[in-house]
Structure 1
């Protein structure tokens, strides 16, 4: 059962979670005309009187950009101020996840983005590990990732996640933990809600933005860390067969963090994952505000 945080931001005010309700006729519910973000917060292990948010500014800017696709002007600074106040009001004492959401809130029938009301809300829930930190198994999905020419993939548009849902359920019901999607060109794109990385001959590889992948904030963090650590990196197209013979494969995302992949289809991957572990240890240290070189990635809120 989800343990939701008691206070939410809804219709321009902070109210109890159970009082935040929308109509069954809400436009976004029918047409997927919403966009969301997601960021983690933890209690500072070194100072329990502080909450730490990872790359808050980046998350707020990405949601502001996503809102633009809905013809909604929602400044990143406004999102940030509301999220900070949201955290303060909830008196949080466990690791948690924040879900900000913009959507067409009107009760109109026609699918459109013009002449229609939009709103913004924020809620949260306690969240530990989304995927097993010991590693997951993956299958190649029969569902393909959408193309940017038909859907704005630079934004986290809610309607796009029907494909993720289909792929995830297909994977789980066929005995795997996660799905890997290909794009319309037959290249590996991303997982159901995560970016994908592989390591071959000491080089870190991930599909580039021309492969219809989400502009992941954890993805960007990993690429920056890898370069700072002297790990050769490249963004390019990835063939399915490359995954089967890779030295390491891992998934990345706000919820998943860095999750190693143990097996893809019937191909077992090597147990040794030195680059994955190096990057994961580094990222954990940063999110816990233990690395002075990346303190600008951590936003501190007195609790």
Structure 2
């Protein structure tokens, strides 16, 4: 059972989580005409009177852009203020996750984005590690990531996550922790809800945006930190076979943070992961507001 935060946001008001309900005829429920965000927050380890949010501005900008794809004008500053109010009303005492969601709230049955009501809701839940920091096993999914010409993959469109759901369940039911999806060109794309990186011969490699990946905010953070460390970087197409002979592979995302991969299919990866650990430690320090260099990535909310 998930531990949901007590206060939610729905139809422009805050109310108890258990009272935040929608109709069974809601358009987005039937057609996937929604888009969501996801961001982590933690109580400040140095100051009990504030909550730390990671890259709040980028999360709000991305959700606002996703809303535009649904023909919904939702300014990033409105999203940001709602998140701040949400945190102050809930006053979380442990690590947590916020899920803002924009969706077609009308009750019509025609699949469309025009002439139908839209809404913006938000809820949260307590969340520790989503994936084991000790390492996860992955299988190559039999499902392919969609193409941008069939879905606007620059946004976190809810309909797209049927593929993620199929891939994740396939992985779990076949004895793995996570799935790695290929794109329709047969190149490595991403995991079920995370971006993927690999180290080969001292170079950090990750699929580029043209590979139909999500423009991940944690991915961007990892790339920035790696550049600042002087680590060579390549954003390019990645072959499946490269994963099997990589020196290190890791997944990253808001929920997953930085999670090392220990096995892909029946191939064991090296247990020595110096770059993965270094990036994870720096990112952890950043989220806990212990890094002067990336302090502008942290938004403190007084509670």
Paired residue secondary structure (2:293): helix
TM-score, with normalisation over the residues of structure 2? 1.00
1:250 is displaced (CA, Å) by 0.1
Tell whether 2:100 aligns with 1:100. Answer: yes
- Cα deviation for residue 50 of structure 1 reads 1.2
1:182-219: CA deviations, max 9, x gaps? 00000000000000000001100000000000000000
Shift of 1:44: 0.8
Q: Tell me which residue corresponds to 1:173.
A: 173
Residue 225 (structure 1) shift: 0.3
- CA apart distance, 1:181: 0.3
Matched, 1:202 2:202: yes
Partner Cα distance (1:194, 1:116) in 2: 32
Name the SS for the 1:292 alignment partner. coil
- Alignment map for 1:117-266 (pairs within 5 Å): 117-266=117-266
Deviation at 1:5, TM superposition (A): 0.4
> Which residue pairs with 1:79 in the alignment?
79
Q: Using structure 1 for the length normalisation, give the TM-score.
A: 1.00
Q: Structure 1 stretches of 5 or more lacking a match?
A: none
Once residues 4 and 291 of structure 1 are traced to their aligned partners in structure 2, the CA distance between those partners, rounded to angstroms, is: 30
The offset of 1:46, in angstroms, is: 1.2
The CA distance in 2 between the partners of 1:147 and 1:290, in whole Å, is: 39
Give the equivalent residue in structure 1 for 2:22: 22
- Partners of 1:188 and 1:165 in 2: how far apart? 18
Structure 1 outlier segments of 4+, above 3 Å: none
CA distance in 2, matches of 1:46, 1:268: 40
C-alpha deviation, 1:48, in angstroms: 1.7
1:52 counterpart residue number: 52
Number of residue-to-residue matches in the alignment: 303
Structure 2: runs of 5+ lacking an equivalent? none
